[in-house]
Amino acid sequence: MSATLTKRVLLALALVDLVFFGGWVVREETLRRGGPIHLPIEGYDPRDLLSGHYVRFQLVAVREATNIIDPRRNVSPQTFCIERRDGLYHVKGVRSGDASSCSPFLRATYDDRGHWDFGVDRFYVDERLANEARWVQPSPNTYLVAVVDGDGAIHPIDLVVNGNSFASQKTSR
């Protein structure tokens, strides 16, 4: 391959890098500017050792959605209406019809293990704060702060454990 053609390929690759990764970062930043909601979580202990300092958890919405529809009998993606109860958002029922039927709503897919998958199951935690996450039990003050976009996808912003925000603790240190 000639040097000129090589340089053209390199230039195109640099542009693709810039557009793809730059666009990805811009998209994630933009999506997190919406109004946040609080989603209760449970079962996030033990942490996955292979994931570094990720805290793994399960949204309460997974259990609530399973009680409404058994995912093993419904292999297509499903959307669920959520409503606010005591400051936290819970699954109310299956979303049907157009966008005006309920808002906000969450989109879930079937994960082949009998669970609804809302696309969120981990949160990166500063290693100096990791021990605090280890001993926490689910409670009304333990939840995920996230933004839900127009497609029902969840974008995590913060993890609050017993009323303490991991994101603010990280920035204050």
* Residue ranges in contact with other proteins by CB under 8 A: 1, 3, 6-7, 9-14, 16-18, 21-22, 24-25, 28, 32, 112, 119-124, 126-128, 155-156, 170, 173
In the complex, least distance from residue 81 CB atom to other proteins, rounded to whole angstroms: 24
Give the integer Cα–Cα distance in Å for 151 and 110: 17
Q: Based on CB atoms, which residue is closest to other proteins, 92 or 170? A: 170
Q: Based on CB atoms, which residue is closest to other proteins, 85 or 134? A: 134
Q: Based on CB atoms, which residue is closest to other proteins, 25 or 68? A: 25
Question: By C-alpha distance, which of 54, 48, 60, 159 is closest to 116?
Answer: 60
Q: Phi then psi for 112, rounded to 5 degrees? A: 70, 5
The CA-CA-CA angle for residues 90, 120, 75, to 5°, reads 80
Composition of the chain by helix, strand, coil, percent to 5: 35, 30, 35
Q: Which residues 6+ apart lie within 8 Å of 86 measured at CB?
A: 140
In the complex, least distance from residue 69 CB atom to other proteins, rounded to whole angstroms: 22
In the complex, least distance from residue 90 CB atom to other proteins, rounded to whole angstroms: 21
Q: Based on CB atoms, which residue is closest to other proteins, 10 or 68? A: 10
In the complex, least distance from residue 41 CB atom to other proteins, rounded to whole angstroms: 13
